[in-house]
Amino acid sequence: MKKALVLGASGGMGYSIVNELTDRGIEVVAFARRKDRLMQLFHQNNLVTVKEGDLRKKEDVISAAKGADVIFHSANIPYSQWEEDLAQIVRHIVEAAKVQSAKLAVVDNIYAYGRKPNELVTENAPKNPHTKKGKIRLQLEQIYQASHVPTIIAHFPDFYGPNASNTLLHYTFEKVVKNKNTGIIGNKNIAREFIYTPDGAKAIVELALTDKAYNQNWNIPGYGVITGEEIITILRQTVNYHRKVSTVTKAMIQFLGLFSKDMREVVEMFYLSEEPVVLSGEKYENEIGKIPKTPYKEGIKETIEYMRRKNNR
């Protein structure tokens, strides 16, 4: 791979993928809707060319993909726009890959697996999504498979890390950085899985550099599971946070949904706080190598420090 296009480069995983690629000496076109945001993130990186555009416009995606060997799709849009726009966006990305004879590496979540209580989920697990968003993710996977474009679909748990906003833990951390009372979404005693975005970026880039990885699905787990109480302990011990941490319940989110379309869409995914989906990385480690896994204590500390530096600019 000599050149890559990263869609959603201003987001959490996209930002880390750009940095991982350039750390390996690979030229990158960083694509997102706002050029100013891209310039803020990457203006000091000589291997990055920023490209402003809209994934809803096929010509923007095809233009950005010119000369790319691999297109990394890490872009996302608000939940409320998924049903209307996501399938068309994926068709535009597939078309751009065909025009440029590029491969695809797709950052995906765990929604398509549906409920998998008390199970370490492998790539062979049946996908029986019971939510609207899970069914949409499965539909997108079927579009990739029907396209005959060489594609990697990498399933990740919830993200946290540098520049990773619009995540569950970011909701918690942004109040910590401001030294205000914060909250944990869901029961603080239920263990869930999260992945530090630089680890996820290393894993998907390694897949993209491996020819045999294409036309397969890959599960990329984080550093095991962790409870909300354990996260609070890390915050107390490592970043000197001593304010109140409350529990954000499903009822609270339902109430907020009365005033926000996007919050209404969050409610159906609350089951993941009650019945966490935990991924197996056995296939990756058997066929590719060791999965990068930063301990939560280190990853949370790095994330908070990044957010504090950003706030002080």
What residues does each domain of the chain span?
3-163+195-222+277-293, 168-189+226-273
For residues 80 and 88, the answer to whether their CB atoms sit within 8 Å is: no
- Architecture in CATH of 3-163+195-222+277-293: 3-Layer(aba) Sandwich (3.40)
User: Could you tell me the two tokens for 51?
Assistant: 């490209």
Tell me the C-alpha distance between 83 and 133, whole Å: 8
Q: For position 286, what pLDDT does the model report?
A: 98
Tell me the C-alpha distance between 186 and 203, whole Å: 28
Tell me the whole-structure pTM to 2 decimals: 0.95
The DSSP line for 79-105 is: GGGHHHHHHHHHHHHHHHHHHHT-EEE
- With a CB cutoff of 8 Å and minimum separation 6, the contacts of 83 are 132, 136
Tell me the C-alpha distance between 233 and 73, whole Å: 35
Q: For position 111, what pLDDT does the model report?
A: 96
Mean pLDDT per 10-residue segment, the chain (313 residues): 97 97 98 96 96 97 98 94 96 98 98 92 96 96 97 97 92 94 94 97 98 98 97 95 93 75 81 94 98 97 94 74
